[in-house]
Amino acid sequence: MANKNASKQSIDVEMLISGAEEIELPARTIDTVLITYTLCSIPSPNDALKEIKRVMKDDAIIIFCEHGKAPDENILKWQNRINPIWGKIAGGCNINRDIPNIINSAGLKINNLEQMYLPSTPKIVGYNYWGTASS
């Protein structure tokens, strides 16, 4: 479906099917990376981001939108309690990952970060982070 939709666009889009921890591209070849609701499910998000950093050009940008660790202690307590079960019923999703820390730990720099509970979403799964990062 993605290939079909990409072919209809007026911009040049190349679809690459690959695991995030081993991207089959030479170093410094990508100018933009879009990450949406992925870091919660990748088994090793730090390794994936280090690999993404490897294939990014020096002036490349990452645009991300992720859900994760809530700032409120009571919500976080419930996230930590439910996370083991949640992952089993939600495709490996982790609801308590510290997204900004994961991005920074991979040697990336967050340039812009916004965060909030999404309206009409249970707080336990609805804390979102979005912004941009670079190497």
**CA-based nearest residue to 111, from 78, 77, 67, 64:** 64
Q: 């202690």: which residue's tokens?
A: 73
Please compute the mean of the pLDDT values over residues 117-133 and round it to a whole number. Answer: 98
> Is residue 131 left, alpha or beta, with left meaning phi > 0 and alpha meaning psi from -120 to 50?
left
| pLDDT at 1 > cutoff 60 | no
Cα-Cα-Cα-Cα torsion 30, 115, 11, 39, nearest 10 degrees, comes to: 50
Per-residue pLDDT tens over the stretch 37-87: 999 999 999 999 999 999 999 999 999 999 999 999 999 999 999 999 999
Domains of the chain, first to last: 29-134 (3.40.50.150)
Q: Which of 134, 73, 68, 84 is nearest to 104 (CA)?
A: 134
Q: Tell me if residue 114 falls in helix, strand or coil.
A: strand
